[in-house]
Structures are given as structure tokens and as C-alpha cells.
Chains A and B, each alone.
Chain A
Amino acid sequence: MVPLRALSVVPAVFGLALMSAGCQRAEPVQWDSSEQVKKLTPELGEQVTKIVNENAGSVLKPKMVSEKPVDDHTKTVRRELQLKHGQDVYMKRCVQCHGVSGDGNGDVANSLYPRPRDYTKGIFKFTSTPYGSKPRRDDLIATLRRGVTGTSMPAFRLLPKEDIEDVVDYVILLAQRGELEVQLANEAEASEELDPDYISEFIDDVGAKWKDSSGPPTQPLTPQPELTPERVALGREAFLTKGCSKCHAEDGRGHTKDNIGKDAWGHPTRAADLTSGMLRGGQEPIDIYRRILNGINGTPMPGFRNALESEPETVWNLVSYVLDVSNRRRSGTKIPAGLIKPYSEPVPAAEGEAAPAGAE
């Protein structure tokens, strides 16, 4: 059952997408290959696809790149069923936004701001791990349960545990498949060949990167204190002197003149408006703490661990301040979730995407 919030967020289009998926069982026909692969010569493209399929399987028989085959028939079959179940959940509840292959190009994606996450880059934002690392499985589960406030990503609070677990595995599978494909395509492009001597490195890399996804989260440098008004005041001071205001502006609204960059998906970014009352990465003090210590993957938001390690209390002061500014507008103006706001700049053609449909 799709939670009500999701329905209110993407009204008519949502239904359409479901209809266009047809009445037969929503089983994907084929995964797309990425733009990078399409740019290769046909022979190289085929070689890449062949290796990707050997390692990630096919839609009919999806495989996790990082999982080596085991010599136990019962286990193998059980795993296959789990991944297929994850795929079923995905094709029912996620595909309209995130797309069949997880590239973020689902049927309704063009009308959404921000766009649904393209998993094929293997980059996730709301993590409890250092900048540049993969998310923990639990981070993805938390995102699904919580939704992403201020965007169209719904909260799947009522989905049974089994569905959540399996769909998260399927998301990881799509991410690993995407990463392997991009890495091989880059290699093929750079070398104009795929030297078999190096292929296993790329496959192993994917596994190594996801290896810690069931490890422990980043722990705070000091335990969480009571977030008092004094800390809010100190946090404000730190916000102005430690570098936050350089991107988020002195009032935390992120409206600085030259604050435009691109994120890892090629979309223009701006520093989050911390006063909007809608922290995407979670409202808990520890969520904000981790954003500050680790930064936010794929975006200009840097990690402050090195800068603040010698003054760990400052991190909690900053958390107090961010929560304070974020809550200030809570009761007042509320911007509707998933507000359809076009990207201010057309997405560059080099990223291989058409200009967003909603652009004015």
C-alpha cells in the first residue's frame, strides 16, 4: 500500500505512470545501459554489457555484484527469491520515480524537483559514513522509513519489514550494477579496449566499496549534551566563524550570490536553506551532527571532522543552532512537500539529459 503522503505529493502523473506500466505483472523488460556505454563503439559497448550481465545478472535473474556465488543450492535459491521480491516491491512502488534501472529517469521524474536519486552513480546523500563512502544498509532503510522531507520521496512507514529489507537490497544491486558499468565504460573509453588483466579489479572495487555497509555508523566525538539556548548562541557564533555562513549565508538561508555549484548528478546545487524547517537528511540531532562531521556525498557540503576535531563541543553547538533556525519557521510558512520547482539552469547536454520538462 502506498502511503497517503506519496499520493498527495505526485497527484495525477503518479496514476498515469502506474497505468502505463500496463496491467500485466510489472516485470521490467530490460535494464537500460548508461549514457557512457552508449557513447562507446558498438563492440566495446557489447563487451562492457557482457561483463556487467555476468556480474549483475539480468532483470529476470538479478545478482548482487559484490556477492560471490556460494556452493549451497538452498542458500542460492533463497537469495534469488529475496532479490526477486525486492524487485517486485521496487517495480510497484519506486519505479515511476527512480526508473527501471535506477537511473532516476522514471516516468514522472521530469516533473519533480529535486529529481529522484539516480542510484547508478552509487552515491547516496543521507549516510552515517564519512564523505565518499557508501551508505550503510541501515541508512537506506532509515531514509525509506522517514522519506525525504521537502521532496517527493515518500515515507514508507507502513511497508512490512521484509519488503523494506528486500527493496533496499535491490536498490544496492542497481547501484552496484550502475557503478560497475560506469567504471568499465570509463576504462573502455580511456584505453579503447578492455584488457582482461584489469577487469577483475573493477569488479572487486565494487565489492570493496560496499563491504562496510553493514559496519558501524560514524560515532559522535563526544556524547550528545543537552541542547540548551546557550549552545544555540555559541552555535550561531561558530556558524559565522567556522565557515558555514560562507555557503549558507549569515542567516542560514543559503542565499549567497555566488553559491552555485553542481552536484555529482550534474544538477545545479545551492547550500540548503536551513531555515526551511525541512531538513532532508533527518531532524534528529545525530543526523545533523553527521551531516556536519561527514559532509553530504555528491554535493559541495564538506565534512568538518578535521576542522572541528580539536573542539568537539562546537559540533554540538552547531547542531543546536541548526535545529533552532530550522524549527523557527516550522509553525509558520510551510512549503508544500515536493514543490515543483524547475532547476534554474538547464542540465548540461554533456550529462546526456534533456532539459527538465518543468523548466520555464
Chain B
Amino acid sequence: MSLRKSVGFLAACLCMGGSVLASGPADGGTVVGKVILDGTAPTLAPLVKSGDANVKDKEVCGAADVPDESLVVGDKGGVANVFVYLRRAPKGYKAPEVKDQLVLDQKGCVFLPHAAAIRVGQTILVKSSDAVQHNLHTFPQRNDPSNLLIKASEDKGVALKYTKPESDPIEVKCDIHAWMSSYHLILDHPFMAVTDKDGNFKIEGLPAGTHEFRVWHERAGLLEKEYKVEVKAGAEKAVELKYAVAKFPAKKK
């Protein structure tokens, strides 16, 4: 129901002055790209070592290494978990309804996925494959914060919803297992992507014109505030974004 509400909200914001741009990959343009690390990726020690006897809930959280996902670099230096997005939809653009549900899982005391692009009003089901409790604690700027205790082996899923767009990705944590951290970007339009394990991303259905993208990574913060890309209807534009490894310093604890 809240889904419908958010659509109403979007419709209300529509500026009637401009032409209402149609959406969909057919008439829109596409941006494909890759985010690349310039330099040697650091080797990161696991956050929790397999078999660590001192870790909380060691049977579950210590069953396997918990990887440090704060900088994941894949094939040919591609950087994973980078958010690429328009801060706001082009004026006059009418965003299509969100139908897809997003499932978040917690497995081996790791949030899956580590980085998620989410639409305002989209239903998120928070599940847990772990036989221990977690708490999902969001740290938004505009949305009301949530802090949900997720029970052990939650398989039905607890619903989570964001009602407002955020400027940049927000952190989502588990306080019980303090190393568990992930990032959500919430926008009221679909022009956003998270790079895959090899640093690739694709944003489709963009109205023709020049767009300014933001590029954000959890270690680096904003890498770009207005990366300009010219998009032509029906065409695909390829970009490569390369950043020095020094831009990705380890976060202070």
C-alpha cells in the first residue's frame, strides 16, 4: 500500500511545464561503464577469522572467514560496490512504478548484498540465514531511522521500506555484530547502479541529454559530484572511470 502512496507522491511532484518523458530502454539511452582502480589493490585481512574462539556467536560468525568488503577489487582492477547515480531524476521525468521486491539476507554474519540500490517505496524483505539474532540498523539523513531485531533464521522476512530519497548512500549496520556493515542508496527514480564484482555497471532508459552522475564508494566517499555524460536516445554510451588507490584509504575505526 505504501508503494501506491509513493507513486502518488511522485505524480504530485511532476512538473507539468516540461514534456513528460517516456521511459524504457527502447527510446532511452544507456550508459555502460567500468570503475577501475589505478594502482595495486591492498590485501585486506578478514574481519573475523574462521575458527576465532573469541568472536561473538562463534558457531555462526566464526564458521568461515568474514571478508572485509570495504574495498573489493575484481578482474582487471574493476572496483565492486561503487554507486553510480543521478542525484535527482531529470525534471519532468516520470518514474515507472517499482514492482520488484528486494531480498536482503544475513549469512555467516555478513549482509547480502553489501551494497544495494533501492527505490523509494520499494519493499525490502530482510531475511536471515543465520541461527543467531541480528539487528538491522539504518543511518539515513532524510528517512526515519529503523532498528529491527531480526530473529534467528528469519525466513519469512521482515518488511523494510524507505519513504524518502537520500542524497548519497547510507550505512546499514548490525550493532550486535559490530563489524557487519552495508550500504543502501535510496532514490525516487531508477537511474542508479552498483558496480558488480568486476566493476561494471549499466544504467538504462535515460532521457536523451547531458546527465551529471555522482559516483560514490564507501571508503572514498564522493568520487564524482557531477560526472557529465551525454546520452542519445536509443544509443549506448561507454565510460571508464579510473581512480588512484590513494582515494580509497582505510576507514578509521
Contacts and interface: CB of A to CB of B under 8 A. Distances in A.
Given A300-B137, A307-B151, A261 B175 contact: yes
Contacts of B148: 131, 302-303, 306
B145 A258 contact: no
Given A261-B175, A300-B137, A303-B149, A187 B144 contact: no
Interface string A167-190: 000000000000000010011001
Chain B at the A interface: SS class: loop
A283 interface: no
A190 B146 contact: no
B176 A247 contact: yes
B147 A304 contact: no
A242 B144 contact: no
A120 to B, nearest CB: 14
A190 B135 contact: no
A261 B178 contact: yes
Contacts of A247: 175-176
A205 B133 contact: no
A352 interface: no
A295 interface: yes
Contacts of B151: 242-243, 306-307
Contacts of A306: 148-151, 158
A2 interface: no
B66 to A, nearest CB: 14
A295 B142 contact: no
Contacts of B144: 132-133, 209
B168 A190 contact: yes
Contact of B133 (A260, A295, A307): A307
A56 interface: no
B87 A131 contact: no
Interface in A294-314: 295, 297-298, 300-304, 306-307
A302 B137 contact: yes
A307 B149 contact: yes
Contacts, number: 77
A205 B136 CA distance: 24
Nearest to B226: A192
A93 interface: no
A197 B16 CA distance: 13
A264 interface: yes
Contacts of B136: 302
A162 to B, nearest CB: 32
A246 interface: yes
Nearest to A134: B144
Contact of B164 (A190, A205, A243): A205
Nearest to A304: B149
A191 interface: yes
B145 A297 contact: yes
Nearest to B173: A261
Interface in B113-168: 132-133, 135-137, 141-151, 158, 164, 167-168
Contacts of A205: 142, 164
B133 A187 contact: no
B147 A131 contact: yes
A47 B146 CA distance: 31
Given A258-B178, A260-B178, A300 B149 contact: no
Contacts of A190: 87, 167-168
B228 interface: no
A313 B141 CA distance: 35
Contacts of B15: 197
Contacts of A131: 145-148
B56 interface: yes
B167 A187 contact: yes
A186 B167 contact: yes
B228 to A, nearest CB: 15
A243 B149 contact: yes
Given A190-B168, A297-B145, A306-B148, A246 B133 contact: yes
7 contacts: A183-B142, A205-B164, A295-B149, A300-B137, A302-B135, A302-B149, A307-B133
